[in-house]
């Protein structure tokens, strides 16, 4: 069974991003980039499925500018077998376009399972996995915290408001990874070296016959309203007094 | 054309986030219909009737008992022809099926809106709320998820008519094997007026319970946590407040032993009053707190409980 994992190159989660002064976007000059944290979890899960003998091959895909190769190499270093770069140049790829690219790749690669991160931490859209499942007519299990694959089915526990639910879906299917699915491993240096020799194929949206024109136009990107904070209280008695008499919230 | 809101409910009753979503829909300027898809969901439909919609559409059938994304999507797509906008709460319920609806309709989804500029232009947070994007959609149908904390629930209205709509066939794509719901007497995190939230500073799951539960009990508050506390296994995932957890905006948010990572602030910085209790005065949580108390939480929280 082949597993396909889409990975996105995003701003490192520790960077505090700011809107540009002219409100045309966010300032990403010289900012540290990394693999989207939920995609790291998705790659880890796919690699574990291979280690358990459930999956035979893990193929990672990244859509974006050529530099997304770095993200693909990171995934190869932790155990993915092969990578596909969908080089879209500087075109902004929105979730529906990414889902369509992945659909074109599913047609070529015929995976039985797609494991994606639940959300990318840049646009915070939380859409691609569900959209791909829709375009394929496949079942989906979002926000997974436990995955068991056997006999052509996936038994997946997912995080819902107020607790957990366990779903069973026939394969092929799309699963999106939540935080507690696993703890991704770190790549060891020899594996980083080996990853450089693993196959990485490049294609483009045009070669895949996918129209990636953005559907949403960003009119402006602005700073959120600033919160006035920094107030201190002397002790617990002062705190209780302020909450009761100043803020009047208790 | 009318606007369709998808109700979040547990069949017997309507979830609060549905009302906030109706408030957002009301600002779009056309008639609003509320779709209740469930099994034996008459209770939820009756509550929906007075929640501000002009009409309630009830799809009551066994295949909606589990509210699977596959079956809900089939139903919503079957009704989509008559609507200019389709809205759902940006909760784990709405996030699950709404992108599936958008893809089937071949339109973009506008996720997690916090503002409405016009019927085709919306404001949504990006980068953990560190920036606000104003986006315009040219799609024929606007598919939108709504951040409930950004829209106040409307007052109860006179009862609207409830109409039955034809159920779509069971897609048979997904089967629920089980559910483990946390039983709690406390208010729901997303709708609570007061939230007591704990971070890594609590040190352990036992200490989280021992220190924070008495405070939450005293205040009638919901309990929350930072991602660090969830990662460390102190509490379940659905306690998580933050960029990838729940977005909350209570009247009072008490952050105990929370450092204030960007991802956590993204989930609670719109709270009316923020209290931070932490022994390290340099933690970023103090920069956004209205009332910062630099103290050892193990002493300060029990003292606070006693003083309330």
Contact (CB<8Å) B308/A240: yes
Contact (CB<8Å) B92/A160: yes
Q: Which helix (H) or strand (E) holds A189?
A: helix A189-195
Residue A127: which of B109, B180, B275 has the nearest Cβ? B109
Mutate which of A16, A159, A161 to test chain B, going by most B C-beta atoms within 10 A?
A161
Show residues of chain A in contact with B181, CB under 8 Å. Answer: 162-163
Residue-wise pLDDT for A173-202, tens only, equals 999 999 889 999 999 999 999 999 999 999
Residue-wise pLDDT for A43-77, tens only, equals 999 999 999 999 999 999 999 999 999 999 999 99
Contact (CB<8Å) A17/B303: no
| d(C-alpha B212, C-alpha B287), whole Å | 23
Show residues of chain A in contact with B97, CB under 8 Å. Answer: 130
**Closest-CA residue to B220 (of B247, B251, B246):** B251
- B-proximal residues of A, 132-161, CB under 8 Å: 132-135, 138-143, 145, 155, 159-161
Residue-wise pLDDT for B80-108, tens only, equals 999 999 999 999 999 999 999 999 999 99
Residue-wise pLDDT for A224-236, tens only, equals 998 889 999 999 9
Question: Helix, strand, or coil here: A49?
Answer: helix
Residue B184 is predicted with a pLDDT of: 82
| d(C-alpha B164, C-alpha B41), whole Å | 11
- Specify the residue for token string 């500018």: A65
Residue B104: which of A17, A118, A134 has the nearest Cβ? A134
- Specify the residue for token string 């007075």: B50
In percent, the amount of chain B with pLDDT more than 70 equals 100
Give the per-residue SS3 of A85-116.
EEECCCCCCCHHHHHHHHHHHHHHHCCCEEEE
Residue-wise pLDDT for B107-129, tens only, equals 999 999 999 999 999 999 999 99
Kindly state whether A98 is in contact with chain B, defined as any CB-CB distance less than 8 angstroms: no
Residue A125 is predicted with a pLDDT of: 97
Contact (CB<8Å) A165/B132: no
| d(C-alpha A97, C-alpha A144), whole Å | 24
pLDDT at B202 over 90: yes
In percent, the amount of chain A with pLDDT more than 70 equals 100
Find out whether A200 and A97 touch, Cβ atoms under 8 Å.
no
Show residues of chain B in contact with A179, CB under 8 Å. Answer: 227, 230-231, 237, 240, 244
Over range A156-174, report the average pLDDT: 95
């Amino acid at each position: 069974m082949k597993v396909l994992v889409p990975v996105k190159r995003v701003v490192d989660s520790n960077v505090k991003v700011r809107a540009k002064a002219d409100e045309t976007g966010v300032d990403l000059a010289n900012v540290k980039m990394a693999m989207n944290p939920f995609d790291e979890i998705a790659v880890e899960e796919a690699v574990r499925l291979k280690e358990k003998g459930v999956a035979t091959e893990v193929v990672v895909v990244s859509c974006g500018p050529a530099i997304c190769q770095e993200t693909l190499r990171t995934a190869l270093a932790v155990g993915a077998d092969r990578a596909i770069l969908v080089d879209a140049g500087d075109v902004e790829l929105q979730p529906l376009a990414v889902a369509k690219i992945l659909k074109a790749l599913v047609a070529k690669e015929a995976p039985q399972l797609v494991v994606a991160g639940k959300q990318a931490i840049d646009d915070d859209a939380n859409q691609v996995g569900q959209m791909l499942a829709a375009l394929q007519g496949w079942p989906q299990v979002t926000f997974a915290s436990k995955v068991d694959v056997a006999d052509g089915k996936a038994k997946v526990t997912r995080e819902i408001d107020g607790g957990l639910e366990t779903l069973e879906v026939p394969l092929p299917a799309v699963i999106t990874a939540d935080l507690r699915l696993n703890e991704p491993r770190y790549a060891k240096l020899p594996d980083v070296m080996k990853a450089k020799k693993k196959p990485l194929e490049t294609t483009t949206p045009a070669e895949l016959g996918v129209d990636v024109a953005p559907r949403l136009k960003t009119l402006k990107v602005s700073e959120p309203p600033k919160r006035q904070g920094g107030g201190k209280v002397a002790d617990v008695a002062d705190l209780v007094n302020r909450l009761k008499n100043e803020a009047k919230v208790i | 054309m009318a606007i369709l809101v998808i109700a979040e409910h547990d069949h017997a009753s309507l979830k609060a986030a549905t009302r906030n979503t109706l408030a957002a829909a009301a600002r779009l300027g056309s008639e609003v219909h509320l779709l209740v898809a469930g099994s034996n969901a008459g209770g939820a439909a009756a509550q929906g009737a007075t929640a501000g919609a002009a009409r309630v559409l009830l799809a009551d059938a066994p295949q909606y008992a589990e509210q699977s994304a596959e079956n809900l999507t089939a139903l919503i797509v079957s009704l989509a022809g008559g609507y200019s906008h389709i809205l759902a709460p940006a909760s784990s319920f709405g996030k699950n099926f709404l992108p599936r609806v958008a893809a089937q309709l071949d339109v973009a989804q506008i996720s997690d809106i916090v503002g409405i500029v016009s019927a085709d232009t919306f404001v949504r947070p990006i980068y953990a709320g560190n920036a606000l994007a104003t986006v315009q959609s040219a799609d024929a149908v606007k598919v939108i998820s709504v951040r409930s904390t950004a829209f106040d629930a409307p007052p109860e209205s006179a009862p609207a008519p409830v109409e039955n709509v034809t159920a779509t066939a069971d897609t048979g794509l997904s089967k629920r094997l089980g559910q483990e719901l946390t039983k709690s007497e406390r208010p729901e995190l997303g709708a609570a007026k007061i939230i007591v939230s704990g971070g890594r500073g609590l040190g352990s799951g036992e200490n989280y319970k021992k220190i924070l539960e008495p405070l939450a009990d005293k205040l009638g508050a919901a309990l929350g946590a930072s991602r660090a506390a969830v990662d460390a296994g102190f509490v379940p995932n659905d306690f998580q407040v933050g960029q990838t957890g729940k977005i909350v905006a209570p009247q009072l948010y008490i952050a105990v032993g929370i450092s204030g990572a960007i991802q956590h602030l993204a989930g609670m910085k719109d709270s009316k009053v923020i209290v931070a209790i932490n022994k390290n005065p340099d933690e970023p949580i103090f920069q956004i707190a209205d009332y910062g108390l630099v103290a050892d939480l193990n002493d300060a929280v029990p003292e606070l409980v006693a003083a309330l």
